[in-house]
Amino acid sequence: MLAYHIRIAWKSLKRNPILSALIVLGIALGIGVSTTFVTGHHIMSRDPIPQKSSVLYYVEMDNWDPEKGWSDEDPKAAPNQVTHRDATAVMKSTVPTYQSAMFKSYLYVFPPPKLGRPYRGRVRLCFADFFPMFDVPFRYGAGWDRAADRTPDPVVVLSHETNQKLFGGENSLGKSVRIERRDFKVVGVLEPWRPAPKFYDPHNGTYEEPDELFIPFNFVRPMEIRTGGNTSGWKDSGKTFEDQLQSENIWIQMWVQLDSERQKQEYMQFLDNYVRGQQALGRMQRPLNNKLLATMDWLDDQGAVPEEATSFVVISLLFLLVCSLNLIGILLGKFLARAPEIGVRRALGASRMAIFMQHIVECELIAVIGGVLGVLLSILGLEVLTRLFDGMLNFRLDWLMVAAAIGMALLSGLVAGVYPAWRICSLAPANYLKEQ
Amino acid sequence: MEFGPIFRTLRRNKTRFTLITLEIALTLAIVGNCVNMIVDYRRLILRPTGLDEANLLSVVSQPFSPDFREEGYLENSRQADLKLLRALPGVRSAESISSTPLSGSGSSSGFKPLGAKTDTLPTAHFGCGPQITKALGVRLIEGRDFQESDVTEAEEKNILITKVYANALFADGKAVGKQIQGRTPEHPATIVGVIERMHGSWPGWEHIERVVLYPDRPGSVNWGLRFMVRAVPGETARLVKTIEEELVKANNGRNVEVRTLSDIKADTYQAQIAMIQMLSGLTALLILVTALGIVGITAFSVAERTKQIGTRRALGARKLDIVRYFLVENWLISTIGLILGTGFAYALNYGLVTLVEGAKLEPRLVIVGVVLLWIVSLGAALGPVLRATRISPASATRTV
């Protein structure tokens, strides 16, 4: 029976190809536009590290001005980065499974002269745990070990792109890269890796390009490396580099992996003890306000999903609604125009149910064609989005979104079809037979 | 006018006309809000910055040669660069600055009147050479400009501030000659002049118009030297390449990046620009969809009433009467839809404003939307209606 309905529906669509094209195009536009923006929102708000986001925590400690809190709006908020002295102090904890203080900087990288001029590379200074903690994928080699953190050893991990640029993509393990005035040995090369949003450092460029080189954190002091991200301060930070490191300026991100509730409590205890110790020394005079923010809470906190993305979703769904209304109107006209034909069929014994089903199938056929076309349109739409945002985000459809698009199409086909189909099947056949 | 018959027709085809009314209403709601957002973003991007935007270039010299670490080398390089830049044909003025306005990165701090018990007021601040007002094209409206002698090693600086910041600091807005301090009263700064308007570094910041300029010799080995160059109108594009070549030729131990301020601004406002483009696209598509809907519905109305039209024509109605009948019907429907839509537009705006702190809907934009949709609706109906005039009076008799 279904095959028969589909055949009839197809014939009906072919009878008036221009009108059918308009109907299908209308629904395709609705699906295309809404899928584009729903996917955009989905990509901006998705968990960047789903397998671990619940055990990774961002650490905040309140070292701010005793007279004036970090945020005017939220008295409970703690500063969104930590000082160098606190970061290095809490790195001594033995509680977390993994832990790393980190920040980004821009340092001169010197390629072999024939490959081009020196350039400023985006360098992340971090600890050995950074790589296993964030499941960073390696193509060659691996991160450095914890011993290299202490010395620190001149070792470097290259991003895929940097390895392409400096070594033409070959296995460069053991080769040397000159950064500023030191030579670093390559111990690892990453696979292409671009977490978006850049969850581990969102307030220094949520959607900026990935880090290009990674070196041990403890080069901060010997190389006098300053942050390339935001620094906030409330107290005079002195003149010399060492003064800066000891100051109350915050510019470092601190991440830990805590696998169990017990471990989390233990670490919280550790932080509280540390801050109490500092308070006894006269620092951190604000009330105890240490925070461990799970990854997604942290991203929410940082507003990684722009509010505008939500309004675009609302608007695009309303757009789909307009397309559906449009569809109802046109289908109603189209169906009613064939009332005489239906009258004959009813008189010949077709049941109301059969007529109803036949029209619903026709609507769903339109919806499926429109939905598939809509998915194709949304691929185009997402390409436009990616261009508009200059590649900050890679907007791609995934299967979930394709399924959602087809689902939306079927639903709007059904919603749009029920009323016209009901109208046509409930017409009394006699009226139309008389006129013939 | 045939209002009577039209109303009775509408009543008999309630569903279809309700649908089209709703569609028009929703379209107005969405178009009104999209256009409202577009206007809001455009206002943000186009608001005056106080700078001679079109003719400004940002020049960054980023040293890598170890020579720059030698005592005095960086400062010598800065002076040599300034001399070179100012001598280039097409350059009107050039000066050092600590960071580029409108670029999204810079420094901020807080000041208050010396001795005041209040909180400090946050502002962007730039360290710059003495000719900075000329190089930025900002207008001094009170007091005096910087002089060479203002650039000193002393902790107490003579500074320039914007009018907006002056008004925030001092109730009477009179700032020239007054002193301001940071958190502590040591090393107060003296305000020597007030600038009419200047945008700082972060366009998203509510205090974008608060700026402090203090005399300095800005630059460091780590972050390099930065200059603002003001070109003779029309020379900006050409200078981008020339400046880079000339500066690298003068000292090869560094990279030089030259960008127009318009470019930098476009980057900073990239999200807003992208949103304007998306909203425009959405609006155009939506109007297209609605127009197609109206074409379809009107075509059906006409087809359904072939016999009536024929009858009317046979009874003496002119083609014009038929056109008028359908256009008046269309106009009535769209007007009801637009009245309803005005309500929808405000409801949607209320929702969006609550959701995302967007801009309030401007009544004038609703009016623009109404007029636009009236025209679109009539235009869309015109095709099928003209086809209705081709129905011959004879057709009325044929099928009976």
A117 touches chain B (CB under 8 A): yes
Nearest CA-CA partner of B335 in B378, B365, B301, B364 = B378
Q: Return d(Cα A330, Cα A336) in angstroms, integer.
A: 10
CA A170 vs CA A116, A137, A179: distances in Å: 18, 17, 20
Name the one residue in this structure whose structure tokens are 């640029």. Answer: A165
User: Residue A15 contacts by C-beta under 8 Å, 6 or more apart in sequence?
Assistant: none
- Our CA-based measurement puts residue B237 at a distance from the nearest CA of chain A, in whole angstroms, of 22
Question: How is residue B251 annotated by DSSP?
Answer: -
Q: Tokens representing A366?
A: 């339109």
Q: Tokens representing A219?
A: 């080069």
Nearest CA-CA partner of B289 in A257, A130, A377, A150 = A377
Which residues numbered 183-242 in A keep a CB inside 8 Å of some CB on B?
A: 226, 234-235
Instruction: Inspect the interface and report whether the beta carbons of B356 and A310 lie closer than 8 Å.
Output: yes
Instruction: Inspect the interface and report whether the beta carbons of B356 and A226 lie closer than 8 Å.
Output: no
Task: Name chain B contacts of A337, Cβ cutoff 8 Å.
Answer: 300, 303-304
Q: Return d(Cα B379, Cα B377) in angstroms, integer.
A: 5
**pLDDT tens-place string over residues A120-141:** 999 999 999 999 999 999 999 9
pLDDT at position B35 is 93
Given a contact cutoff of 8 angstroms between Cβ atoms, the answer to whether A248 and A234 are in contact is yes
In the three-class reduction of DSSP (H, G, I as helix; E, B as strand; rest coil), residue B174 is classed as coil
Q: Is the pLDDT of residue A187 over 80?
A: yes
- Among A326, A378, A389, A418, which would you mutate to test the B interface (most chain B Cβ atoms within 10 Å of its Cβ)? A326
CA of A229: which chain B residue's CA is closest? B105
Name the one residue in this structure whose structure tokens are 């900087």. Answer: A105
Nearest CA-CA partner of A248 in A225, A210, A282, A218 = A282
Which amino acid is present at A307?
A: E
- Our CA-based measurement puts residue B144 at a distance from the nearest CA of chain A, in whole angstroms, of 30
- Our CA-based measurement puts residue B153 at a distance from the nearest CA of chain A, in whole angstroms, of 14
For residue A379, the tally of other CB atoms under 10 A from its CB is 18
Instruction: Inspect the interface and report whether the beta carbons of A329 and B23 lie closer than 8 Å.
Output: yes
Query: Secondary structure of chain A: what % helix, strand, coil (to 5)?
Result: 50, 15, 35
Q: Return d(Cα B49, Cα B200) in angstroms, integer.
A: 9
CA B273 vs CA A122, B39, B41, B139, B269: distances in Å: 26, 11, 8, 28, 6
Q: Return d(Cα B298, Cα B300) in angstroms, integer.
A: 5
- Smallest Cβ–Cβ distance between A319 and the set B62, B64, B286 belongs to B286
- Our CA-based measurement puts residue A64 at a distance from the nearest CA of chain B, in whole angstroms, of 14
CA of A233: which chain B residue's CA is closest? B109
**pLDDT tens-place string over residues B74-117:** 999 999 999 999 999 999 999 999 999 999 888 888 899 998 88
CA of B120: which chain A residue's CA is closest? A68
Q: Tokens representing B86?
A: 């100012």
pLDDT at position A355 is 87
Chain A to chain B, count of Cβ pairs less than 8 Å apart?
127
Task: Name chain A contacts of B27, Cβ cutoff 8 Å.
Answer: 322
Mean pLDDT, chain B, rounded, equals 90
- Give this prediction's pTM: 0.83
Q: Return d(Cα A401, Cα A408) in angstroms, integer.
A: 10
Helices (H), ranges, chain B: 3-12, 14-46, 73-87, 132-136, 163-169, 236-250, 261-268, 270-304, 306-314, 319-356, 363-389, 395-398
CA of A26: which chain B residue's CA is closest? B289
How many Cα atoms are found within 13 Å in the side-chain-facing hemisphere of A340? 6
For residue B107, the tally of other CB atoms under 10 A from its CB is 15
- Smallest Cβ–Cβ distance between A388 and the set B119, B277, B356 belongs to B277
pLDDT at position B400 is 45
Q: Return d(Cα B386, Cα B324) in angstroms, integer.
A: 10
CA of B18: which chain A residue's CA is closest? A329
Q: Which of A174-178, A320-324, B16-20 has the lowest mean pLDDT?
A: B16-20
A119 touches chain B (CB under 8 A): yes
**pLDDT tens-place string over residues B163-196:** 999 999 999 989 999 999 988 888 899 999 999 9
Nearest CA-CA partner of A140 in A102, A101, A100, A175 = A175
**pLDDT tens-place string over residues B226-248:** 999 999 999 999 999 999 999 99
A430 touches chain B (CB under 8 A): no
Mean pLDDT of A241-270: 94
DSSP assignment string, B86-139: HHSTTEEEEEEBSS-TTSS--EEEEEEETT--S--EEEEEEEE-TTHHHHHT--
**pLDDT tens-place string over residues B369-379:** 999 999 999 99
Instruction: Inspect the interface and report whether the beta carbons of B293 and A26 lie closer than 8 Å.
Output: yes
CA A423 vs CA A166, A333, A352: distances in Å: 70, 11, 11
Which residues numbered 31-60 in B keep a CB inside 8 Å of some CB on A?
A: 33-34, 37
- Smallest Cβ–Cβ distance between A388 and the set B66, B183, B274 belongs to B274
Sign of CA dihedral A215, A220, A222, A228: positive
Domain spans, chain B? 3-46+270-398, 53-267
Q: Is the pLDDT of residue B399 over 70?
A: no
The CA angle A90-A96-A101, to the nearest 5 degrees, is 45
Instruction: Inspect the interface and report whether the beta carbons of B289 and A328 lie closer than 8 Å.
Output: no
Mean pLDDT of B259-274: 91
Instruction: Inspect the interface and report whether the beta carbons of A336 and B352 lie closer than 8 Å.
Output: no
Which amino acid is present at A20?
A: S
Q: Torsion angle, CA of B236/B241/B245/B246, rounded to 10 degrees?
A: -10
A181 touches chain B (CB under 8 A): yes
Name the one residue in this structure whose structure tokens are 């290259």. Answer: A158
Instruction: Inspect the interface and report whether the beta carbons of B357 and A336 lie closer than 8 Å.
Output: no
Given a contact cutoff of 8 angstroms between Cβ atoms, the answer to whether A343 and A431 are in contact is yes
B296 touches chain A (CB under 8 A): yes
Instruction: Inspect the interface and report whether the beta carbons of A388 and B289 lie closer than 8 Å.
Output: no
Percentage of residues in chain A having pLDDT higher than 70: 97
Given a contact cutoff of 8 angstroms between Cβ atoms, the answer to whether B163 and B101 are in contact is no
CA of A110: which chain B residue's CA is closest? B64
- Our CA-based measurement puts residue B92 at a distance from the nearest CA of chain A, in whole angstroms, of 30
The residues facing A101 across adjacent strands are A254
Q: Return d(Cα A93, Cα B119) in angstroms, integer.
A: 38
- Our CA-based measurement puts residue A317 at a distance from the nearest CA of chain B, in whole angstroms, of 11
Confidence of residue A436 (pLDDT cuts 50, 70, 90): very low
**pLDDT tens-place string over residues B205-232:** 889 999 999 999 999 888 899 999 999 9
For residue A240, the tally of other CB atoms under 10 A from its CB is 9
Mean pLDDT, chain A, rounded, equals 88
Task: Name chain B contacts of A306, Cβ cutoff 8 Å.
Answer: 271
**pLDDT tens-place string over residues A332-385:** 888 887 888 888 888 888 888 888 888 888 888 989 999 999 999 999 988 888
Given a contact cutoff of 8 angstroms between Cβ atoms, the answer to whether B327 and A360 are in contact is no
A120 touches chain B (CB under 8 A): yes
Domain spans, chain A? 2-47+307-435, 62-289
- Our CA-based measurement puts residue B149 at a distance from the nearest CA of chain A, in whole angstroms, of 24
A67 touches chain B (CB under 8 A): no
